[in-house]
A and B are shown apart, each in its own frame.
Chain A
Amino acid sequence: MTTEIIISGFGGQGIVSSGIILSHAGLYESKNVTFFPSYGAEMRGGTANCSVVISTEPVASPIVATPDIVIVMNEPSLTRFEPTLKPNGLLFYNKTLIKSVPKREEITIIPVEANAIAEELGQGRIANMVMLGAMIKKTTILKLETLKRAQRKRFSRASDDQLSLNDRALDRGYELF
């Protein structure tokens, strides 16, 4: 069982962090993982994306051409990555910031009010956590508790308040479905 994921959005939306958290969580559940970010000329406000592969087998290619799951946090990412999704793949999109509607019919489209929920919790920047919570609930590829452990690993220097808020955002996403 191999799951190939692409996460994409603006620089600053926590795209790379989301990928690393999924990878840590995969490792914690004794799976094989690879994480490959787009790197180099990225900046806050520019575009960022990353590929994550989580598998029960050794991972062959860390390059993901046709993902099983696509998470898009902004409009340009939807345009770029919707066409790459496998038939019957899952498209999670940040409905708060994306006004276009995904077009493909043979995929499962899951709108998530990621930024709206994050703002409700008091912090727009944790929209990525809401999205991750929603994604693992729908796909069951990873457990909520491992994701919480993984975000604490990723943000090991954050305050306890911030870590708890991240957990709450994961919960809110998880409880959407």
Chain B
Amino acid sequence: MAEKKLMYGNHAIVEGVLAAGCRFFAGYPITPQNEIPEFMSIRMNEIGGVFIQTESEIAAINMLFGAAAAGKRAMTSSSSPGISLMQEGISYIAGADIPVLVVNVVRGGPGLGNIAPAQSDYFQATKGGGHGDYFTITLAPNSAQELYEFPKIAFELAEKYRNPALILADGLLGQMMEPVEFSYKPINPETLPEPPYALSGCKNRERRIVRSYDLRPGKLEAWNWQRQKKYEQIVANEQRFEATACDDAELIIVAYGTCARVCDAAARMARTKGYRVGLLRPITLWPYPSKILSALSKKTEHFLVVEMNMGQMVDDVRLATECKKKVFFHGRPGGGVPTPPEVFGKIETILGGAR
């Protein structure tokens, strides 16, 4: 095992992005993700990559579009209000079938909100986000280690399906420090093959065009049908999750990111007091891990969804369980973070008092 290093979550993302062979970052400052561009500006300079502090989030996402269309791994990071500004660009990138990585370190909203941790951008992240009929592959890390590991996974999925990928973190994951093990060999970007769409100069080959529009009758519909096939493949093949003590559970908590950490502690408290409580942690939020939830709903009576919002992922749990089982909800809006005793209290209430 390699030596572990104590790192901020935001710094772990930077190391993960660089180890994944990405050498292009464009972004605009916003708390609670400022340590990403700050550290990225130092590390890109050391490593010989491109760091651009743009004049706005809109400029950043469009620079990303350009860099990725040229066939390079490219990423940006922001926090909720900044990600909203990027949505037009993300829609164009999805419409052009180009892979990029966008990291959202979510903060309390709506509007300018506050800088506390939140999960209130779940709908935006998993149901498209911008205009048009599209999805972004969305990963939800829950530790500094995963913040280091997920950029590589995100780039690989994004390239495999030619689709934008999103990492949905939150203020707590970004600001927290944890030991990180640099668990894989850094990728040399020179060894990455040129993708078939790359705008790399068309001398001696046919020209390529990257665009998100087609005005000829019927062509856009056909293109969208083709994209839909891709989404079906992603949904069929890429659902990821972590299940803990779910097999004989009388209640399964469903939570991701920071909430999954809090609920892990609450579930441990519950098990020491005789409640059979499991934890299902979605790792991909899109595609949502519906298959495992559907299977678990055949034998578990109670589901408890815990989110740092007032009920967004809970809809996907209800859909996956086809509303056949009781789905309870506990949420904290506007930057509130639930505590383990708070979630344990909810478990006790659902399962009928102290044991």
Residues of A within 8 A of B (CB): 20, 23-24, 27, 32-37, 39-41, 59-63, 65-66
Contacts and interface: CB of A to CB of B under 8 A. Distances in A.
Contact of B261 (A24, A33, A61): A61
A23 B6 contact: yes
A84 to B, nearest CB: 10
Contacts of A20: 6, 177
Given A23-B6, A27-B4, A40-B115, A61 B264 contact: yes
Interface in B253-267: 258, 261-262, 264-266
Contacts of A24: 6
A68 to B, nearest CB: 14
Nearest to A52: B177
A142 B338 CA distance: 29
Contacts of A41: 115
Contacts of B264: 60-61
Contacts of A66: 341
Contacts of B342: 65
A61 B177 contact: no
Contact of A65 (B115, B175, B268, B340): B340
Nearest to A154: B6
A27 to B, nearest CB: 5
Contacts of A39: 31-32, 115, 171, 175
5 contacts: A34-B178, A59-B261, A62-B172, A62-B176, A65-B342
A35 B176 contact: yes
Interface string B189-228: 0000000000000000000000000000000000000000
Given A60-B264, A60-B268, A27 B341 contact: no
Interface in B147-177: 171-172, 175-177
B334 to A, nearest CB: 14
Interface in B19-37: 31-32
Kindly name the residue among A23, A27, A33, A39 whose own CB sees the greatest number of chain B CB atoms within 10 A: A39
A66 B172 CA distance: 18
B337 interface: yes
A36 B175 contact: yes
B177 A63 contact: no
Contacts of B32: 39-40
Contacts of A34: 176-178
Interface of B: 4, 6, 31-32, 115-116, 171-172, 175-179, 258, 261-262, 264-266, 268, 337-342
A27 B6 contact: yes
Nearest to B179: A27
Nearest to A31: B179
Contacts of A37: 175
A35 B177 contact: yes
Given A20-B6, A41-B115, 13 more contacts: A23-B6, A23-B177, A36-B177, A37-B175, A39-B32, A39-B115, A40-B116, A60-B264, A60-B265, A61-B264, A61-B265, A61-B339, A62-B176
B337 A63 contact: yes
7 interchain residue pairs of minimum CB distance:
A65-B339, A60-B265, A61-B265, A60-B264, A35-B177, A40-B115, A36-B176
A23 to B, nearest CB: 6
A40 B178 contact: no
Given A27-B4, A60-B268, A62-B261, A32 B339 contact: no
Contacts of A33: 6, 177-179
A62 B171 CA distance: 13
A61 B176 CA distance: 11
Nearest to B178: A34
Contacts of B31: 39-40
A20 B261 CA distance: 20
A173 to B, nearest CB: 23
Nearest to B338: A63
Contact of A32 (B177, B179, B265): B179
Contacts of B341: 65-66
A39 B79 CA distance: 15
Contacts of A27: 4, 6, 179
Nearest to A150: B6
B255 to A, nearest CB: 11
Nearest to A65: B339
A172 B339 CA distance: 36
B268 to A, nearest CB: 6
B115 A63 contact: no
B38 to A, nearest CB: 14
A41 B31 CA distance: 10
Contacts of B172: 36, 62-63
Contacts of A32: 179
Contacts of A35: 6, 176-178
